Amino acid sequence: MDGVTLLSDYQPYPFEIEKVSMVFHLAPDATRVRSTLALTPRAGAADVHLDGEELRLVSIAIDGAPLAPEAYRVTETGLTIAAGALPAGPFELQTEVEIAPAKNTALEGLYMSNGMYCTQCEAEGFRKITFYPDRPDVMARFHVRIESDLPVLLSNGNPAAQGAGFAEWDDPWPKPAYLFALVAGDLRATSGTFTTASGRKVDLNIWVRPGDEARCDFALGALQRSMKWDEQAYGREYDLDLFNIVAVDDFNMGAMENKGLNIFNSKLVLASPETATDLDYERIEAVIAHEYFHNWTGNRITCRDWFQLCLKEGLTVYRDQSFTRDVRLGALKRIDDVASLRARQFREDAGPLAHPPRPSSYREINNFYTATVYEKGAEVVGMLATLLGGEGYRKALDLYFDRHDGQACTIEDWIKVFEDASGRDLSQFKLWYTQAGTPHLSVSERFENGTYTLDFEQVTAPTPGEPEKPPRHIPIAVGLLGPNGDEVVPTQVLEMTQGRQSFSFSGLAAKPVPSILRGFSAPVVLERDTTPAEQAFLLAHDTDPFNRWEAGRNLARDTLIAMAQGGAPAPDYIAAVGQMLGDATAMPAFRAACLRLPGEDEIASALAANGVVPDPDAIRAARRDLMKALAQTHEAALVAAYEAHAVPGPYSPDAGPAGQRALRLATLALLSTLDAGARAKALFSDATNMTESIGALGLLVAQGTGQAELDAFAARWASEPLVMDKWRSVQAMLSPPEAAVEVVTAIAESGAFEWKNPNRFRSLLGGFAANHAGFHRADGAGYALYADWLIKLDPLNPQTAARMSTAFETWRRYDATRQTHAQAALKRIAGAPGLSRDLSEMVGRLLE
Ligand code: B3K
Ligand code: ZN
């Protein structure tokens, strides 16, 4: 197929690159980049092919001698030098190109953001900077000289020289080009140090634009905590004298792990109590950790090709999740991660974009930075840790670092270290990496003569291109509770490897209540015929915090499914919530998690999985009715919890006070269905932190009663773009569905909306896509509006446009009228003139 890259086509690069020297002479419209590559041919090497896009070649020479025009050829995608023009042994290739960072709106390669220069090279952006073999298995040492009058000039590695108008950087560690970075601007640092376990003193800097320095302390502390944790949990030390983080305002994603010079979206660095929420603090810490952890899992050991992306991303997400559990959230972290896995990855697996964590073909690799590669990739690592146990996992990771440091690796290399460390055969387990789809695990039970048996069956529905699904190796963590709530069989991990399999427990005095898939030990959908009474029992007694939450979640979901089809709220559920609310032994954050109802999209997906066409308006009504029923039954307890959990004193983002605020906002959401927003209005006007301010505002917007507060908020924060993103988001996401299209249109068309900035665009359109009943409005106005904006963004920023098109991935779930409208919107995008490769691949798959 044209333009398709296949895993099976992999070939090693025929040259080795010993060293790369680059000189950048920065100018917004005409930056000059001189590169010198020291190339050594491998056996059988022929022509030199270098990737290059949107480069104007100024000169080209080998060992100092200019190349004759017939010796090379430049196309839209690269530069080829004929074998005949090459010396027999090693040689130096010099090129000079001109590029225009100020015209780069795609934010890939070298571009400008608010007067500063910055780069984003992963996955294939380096080819927009210079001619180079832009593939991760080519690892080289880089020396970089930057010439510019700007005061701060940064690149990877350690500083080598500095003077008026220039700086030089030397990175001693060989790296793939996607980890290259350059930053130049008028920046200020918040600095600190970290001394590694072996005594190396590392200078740490968080670089921001003047004025933002006061919001960097939390990020700096998070970096120090991450460095410490990686030493303790994985024995990994940092390996340069310097670690720089730079915040930029225009960035296509969260952050980037460039060697020694991480570049971050400013929303994931800057935090103050007045401007950032508890969740922002949590995310900042997690992303700083994630990018830092990449230094070993990604940079020192990288990917052989982009098909192996989950090798670094799945593992690094698993590492950052473990970090946040250890330093911040404890068991709550698993609950949050599973909720997000279901909302994003299960949804992806169930639709036209389903793909394995390691895909085997792509057109545009940027379209594969997905929940499946990241979050499911992390689940697969977690299952390996469950199967090998803590010690076995650590042994395997030690072997991975010993064996593969400095290499570009594959999933096969990764599986092999687990096999070698444990002596086990993991060939069936490997299917988790190579096949798409979420297994459905159904279970029934038998109890005879003191023996309790669980009969499991696993089925995975076909996904695009994969009709047959052989059974997976599934670790199922199970514990059994006795009738009085005591644990009679503590957690053990059952290993299912067949389509149907039974496991027995003998010597039991009475029929137990099973707690299955504890800690969500595998990314599957568990199906079990159970009673509301049993779920309520587990919600009250399970010793596994995840399954305790899960029991309440199942009750909530089942009652919402019934209500969305005309049923009434289940009394067992309402009663169980009352019990949980009154359980003073449960952490506030846990109670908050239990009070939050499944989202509308999750209910729609559950209905669709049951073969029911979801009605977005009925789902929304069911959710609101259930909130109201809970509030009516438990009003006194909710008011008591709301009042008891006010946090006195100055703001702290720590888990304790954040959990109290979460419980307060969760109770407030229910109470607001009774008091017409009176408490939310009071909280909004008293709030001294952004968590409560935006939390209260959101509740008012959802009721259509927050105009005065919206105006006050806008007046206060007009000059803070990151805060105004929240103002746009709450309106787009929470406005009543019948008004949402109009609200979004009004904001979008006001002159103040800087839609070319990805954060601004996502705040409004991304927020709108999360407004389930608004986006899926029956008359198709939501789809049409969304399509208009994707078509408008695509020519400037294909990556962000393509990523946001996933809002359409569930379109086939809905009724024929909605489907017709969604299909028309997608076809309109598909037919837009000059559609990017990124977005065209996505709409193609969405329409397939
Ligand atoms: N590795 C980057 C993501 C790059 C995305 C390119 N489209 C951030 C991260 O996962 O840490
Ligand atoms: Zn990552």
Tens-digit pLDDT profile for residues 743-765: 999 999 999 999 999 999 999 99
Q: Tell me, what's the pLDDT at 45?
A: 78
Instruction: Verify that 44 and 18 share a domain, yes or no.
Output: yes
Q: Is the pLDDT of residue 841 over 90?
A: yes
Of the listed ligands, the closest to the CA of 317 is 2
Instruction: Verify that 429 and 460 share a domain, yes or no.
Output: no
CA of 421 to the centre of ligand 1 (A): 30
Cis? peptide before 123, omega within 30° of 0:
yes
Confidence of residue 500 (pLDDT cuts 50, 70, 90): very high
Of 370, 405, 434, which marks where a domain is finished?
434
- CATH (domain of 355): 1.10.390.10
Q: What is the pLDDT of residues 445-468, one digit of tens each?
A: 999 999 999 999 999 999 999 999
Q: 257: which 2 tokens?
A: 């792990």
| Enclosing domain of residue 380 | 302-434
CA dist 62 and 85 (Å) reads 9
Q: Which residues contact 685 (CB under 8 A, 6 or more apart)?
A: none
CA dist 750 and 745 (Å) reads 8
Q: Is the pLDDT of residue 1 over 70?
A: no
Q: What percent of the chain has pLDDT over 90?
A: 99
List beta partners, residue 245.
Answer: 206, 262
Neighbours of 580 (CB within 10 A): 20
Query: Is 313 touching ligand 1 by the criterion CB < 6 Å?
Result: yes
Mapped onto helix, strand or coil, the DSSP state of residue 269 is: coil
CA dist 54 and 68 (Å) reads 22
Of 186, 204, 219, which marks where a domain is finished?
186
Q: What is the pLDDT of residues 574-630, one digit of tens each?
A: 999 999 999 999 999 999 999 999 999 999 999 999 999 999 999 999 999 999 999
The identity of residue 427, as a single letter, is S
As for how many domains the chain has, the answer is 4
Residue 389 lies in a domain: yes
Mapped onto helix, strand or coil, the DSSP state of residue 543 is: coil
Of 506, 524, 542, which marks where a domain is finished?
524
Q: Which atom of ligand 1 is nearest to the CA of 123?
A: 6
- Atom 4 in ligand 1: which residue has the minimum CA distance? 122
Instruction: Verify that 392 and 335 share a domain, yes or no.
Output: yes
Q: What is the mean pLDDT of the chain?
A: 98
Of residues 232, 207, 201, 202, the one with CA closest to residue 219: 207
Residue 241 lies in a domain: no
Q: Is the dihedral of CA 779, 782, 785, 791 positive or negative?
A: negative
Q: Is the pLDDT of residue 648 over 70?
A: yes
Instruction: Verify that 594 and 648 share a domain, yes or no.
Output: yes
Instruction: Verify that 165 and 312 share a domain, yes or no.
Output: no
- CATH (domain of 625): 1.25.50.10
Instruction: Verify that 359 and 416 share a domain, yes or no.
Output: yes
**Annotated catalytic residue within 291, 364, 602, 692:** 291
CA dist 460 and 499 (Å) reads 10
Q: Which residues contact 771 (CB under 8 A, 6 or more apart)?
A: 732, 733, 734, 735, 737, 740, 782
Query: Is 317 touching ligand 1 by the criterion CB < 6 Å?
Result: no
Instruction: Verify that 178 and 37 share a domain, yes or no.
Output: yes
Of residues 95, 90, 122, the one with CA closest to residue 108: 122
Asked if 492 and 477 count as a contact pair (C-beta separation under 8 A), the reply is yes
- CATH (domain of 18): 2.60.40.1730
Q: Is the pLDDT of residue 2 over 80?
A: no
Of residues 754, 829, 823, the one with CA closest to residue 790: 829
Residue 199 lies in a domain: no
Residue 612 lies in a domain: yes
Name residues with Cβ closer than 5 Å to ligand 2, which is an ion.
Answer: 313, 316
DSSP 150: S
Q: What is the pLDDT of residues 180-221, one digit of tens each?
A: 999 999 999 999 999 999 999 999 999 999 999 999 999 999
Residue 692 lies in a domain: no
Residue 711 lies in a domain: no
Q: 783: which 2 tokens?
A: 């789809």
Q: Tell me, what's the pLDDT at 355?
A: 98
Instruction: Verify that 89 and 154 share a domain, yes or no.
Output: yes
Q: Is the pLDDT of residue 674 over 80?
A: yes
Of the listed ligands, the closest to the CA of 368 is 1
Instruction: Verify that 86 and 139 share a domain, yes or no.
Output: yes
Residue 688 lies in a domain: no
Instruction: Verify that 535 and 508 share a domain, yes or no.
Output: no
Query: Is 51 touching ligand 1 by the criterion CB < 6 Å?
Result: no
649: left (phi over 0), alpha (psi -120 to 50) or beta: left
Query: Is 290 touching ligand 1 by the criterion CB < 6 Å?
Result: yes
Q: Is the pLDDT of residue 733 over 60?
A: yes
Q: Are strands 242-248 and 261-265 parallel, antiparallel or unpaired?
A: parallel
Q: What is the pLDDT of residues 175-191, one digit of tens each?
A: 999 999 999 999 999 99
Instruction: Verify that 511 and 551 share a domain, yes or no.
Output: no
Query: Is 794 touching ligand 1 by the criterion CB < 6 Å?
Result: no
Distances in Å between the alpha carbon of 621 and those of 244, 567, 697, 736, 819? 49, 12, 21, 11, 22
Instruction: Verify that 176 and 50 share a domain, yes or no.
Output: yes
Q: What is the pLDDT of residues 813-831, one digit of tens each?
A: 999 999 999 999 999 999 9
694: left (phi over 0), alpha (psi -120 to 50) or beta: alpha
Q: Tell me, what's the pLDDT at 250?
A: 98
Neighbours of 412 (CB within 10 A): 13
Q: What is the pLDDT of residues 140-184, one digit of tens each?
A: 999 999 999 999 999 999 999 999 999 999 999 999 999 999 999
Query: Is 123 touching ligand 1 by the criterion CB < 6 Å?
Result: yes
- Atom 2 in ligand 1: which residue has the minimum CA distance? 256
Average pLDDT of span 788-803: 98
- Give the rounded distance of the alpha carbon of 105 from its chain centre: 23
Tell me the backbone φ, ψ of residue 259, rounded to 5 degrees: -55, 115
291 counts as catalytic: yes
Q: At what angle do helices 678-686 and 655-675 cross, to 10 degrees?
A: 140
Residue 560 lies in a domain: yes
